[in-house]
Homo-oligomer: A and B are copies of this chain.
Amino acid sequence: MQEINKDKQLINPLKQRRQKLAQLIDSPVILWSGKAPSRNFPSNHYPFRANSHFLYFAGLPLENSVIHLEQGKLTLFQDNVPPENTLWYGEPPTRELIAETLGADYAYPLSELKNYTTNAATIAVQDVPTYQQQCQHLNRHVPYPNELEGKDLALAKAIISLRLIHDQEALTEIKKAIAIAIEAHKTGMKVTPKATTEAQVRGAMEGVIIGENMKCAYGSIVTVHGEILHNDKYSHSLNPGELLLADVGAETPLGWASDITRTWPVNGQFSPSQRDIYDVVLAAHDACIEKMHSGVEYRDIHLIAALIMAEGLVNLGILRGNPNDLVDKDAHALFFPHGIGHLLGLDVHDMEDLGDLAGYEISRTRSDRFGLGYLRLDRPLRSGMVVTIEPGFYQVPGILNRKDFREKYKNDVNWDKLQQFPDVRGIRIEDDVLVTETRTEVLTANLPTQGSEIEALCSN
């Protein structure tokens, strides 16, 4: 209960979100929070994570709950915990107290929901049993992202237009998530020189996040094999001369995410070859951030990163030719194959449950170009958006050994020169950035990016 009461300051911003939604959509809206999936037997479940759209309007991570939104009013549907469960779970707050806390206008048990379903729009949740309830309650197929139409599509677009531009309360939460992720990264750098495995560094970093009563916003990447982009293994030993790439973010108890990557030397000192590439990635990172403000196309920011990477790699002798031409033919993407970043908010890839509907401006679709197809965001930037900027350099065997690429880029890559950088498997530098009218605010600025500063943190 004391946790619930703390959040009373949330009511007004939540009401504003609900009123804004009412201005954007005529249909009543029903959003489900979902349930924690079972892990290996029913009572051993994964930690509950409420649906993000539900969280945006309800504010609290209430399990197995439903909200009905209409004309700015919120009706909460939730069952009180049965008395026999209080032995196991204590005396939880009542529906009435929760309703008061989140500023609900009405509150009923779940059995009443059936009287509120007429003509309601909704968005599919990830939790499959809850998804099936959505279909049952609404007595229709609830569309998956690629099937959205009619009132559900209108709802998705309305929510996107709200969630794209963060209000002060959202920014406050994101900053809390960032502050703890920064502590985790500093801890990671500090423990690495004495650690012998990736897992030990991960344990220290996630221990910081758990210790602040937060969760990891996503499966951490903590690896000396940064060239495996979504590496979820932590079993490698750490050897002097290797780089450790850590992509670790926190999530606040109310569900807001941070997303930070740093790459540091296992022994605390970059080798000259590592430092050369690191500085190329950092130059791309800095150039992107410098160019960002409201109105700029995010895709152009991606292309700035590509160009600076290409320039840097030409200067190092790894690529050959005119940097603009190299980008036009996607030669940069041999080493920087992913997008420059993505939306950040309640989800680490914000609203990715809606496919590309949030990330891509209407009428735009993914490019089939190798160097653009993985871009998750293609919209003009607007004040209040939070996005990541995360250029990287990787030597991915699955890319560099492709015969068609070897042929296509045979004159663009100096393969012999590349052999002088064997100790650079993967480097990424990722910050979280708030877009404003005239400039950007690097929300993660308290965590250094300069190589020398990173080295200093490693030796602390």
Contact = CB atoms under 8 A, between A and B. Distances in A.
Contacts of A47: 219, 232
A290 interface: no
B202 A211 contact: yes
B234 A41 contact: no
Interface stretch (A88-96, A113-121, A161-169, A306-314): A88-96
B353 A88 contact: no
A455 interface: no
Interface size class of A (residues with CB under 8 A): 35 or more
Most chain B CB within a 10 A radius of its CB, from A39, A52, A89, A231: A39
Given A42-B126, A42-B353, A207-B211, 5 more contacts: A37-B126, A40-B126, A41-B352, A91-B397, A213-B235
Interface string A67-91: 0000000000000000100111111
A347 B210 contact: no
Contacts of A37: 37, 46, 126-128
Nearest 10 interchain pairs by C-beta = A203-B211, A207-B207, A90-B228, A199-B213, A203-B210, A86-B398, A128-B128, A38-B126, A41-B353, A37-B37
A232 B397 CA distance: 43
Contact of A88 (B44, B86, B209, B230): B230
Interface string A29-47: 0000000011111111111
A211 B201 CA distance: 7
A230 B44 CA distance: 11
Work out how many copies of this chain go into the complex. 2
A22 interface: no
Interface in A250-267: 253
B44 A349 contact: yes
14 contacts: A39-B46, A40-B51, A40-B126, A41-B351, A45-B219, A88-B228, A89-B231, A90-B227, A91-B397, A128-B129, A202-B211, A204-B211, A206-B210, A235-B253
Nearest to A234: B213
Nearest to A2: B235
A43 B90 CA distance: 34
Interface in A324-357: 337, 346-349, 351-353
A234 B3 CA distance: 10
Interface of A: 2-3, 37-47, 49, 51-52, 83, 86-91, 126-129, 197, 199-200, 202-204, 206-213, 218-219, 225, 227-235, 253, 337, 346-349, 351-353, 396-399
B399 A87 contact: yes
B41 A126 contact: yes
B347 A41 contact: yes
Given A197-B213, A396-B87, A3 B41 contact: no
A210 B202 contact: yes
Nearest to A230: B88
A229 B127 CA distance: 26
A203 B209 contact: yes
Contacts of A200: 211
A43 B397 CA distance: 23
B207 A203 contact: yes
Given A37-B126, A348-B44, A229 B87 contact: yes
A291 to B, nearest CB: 27
Contacts of A397: 91
Contact of A87 (B51, B218, B225, B398): B398
B231 A90 contact: yes
Given A41-B347, A83-B398, A213-B197, A230 B128 contact: no
Contacts of A44: 218-219, 347-349, 352
A39 B126 contact: yes
Given A90-B231, A212-B199, A43 B352 contact: yes
A367 B296 CA distance: 69
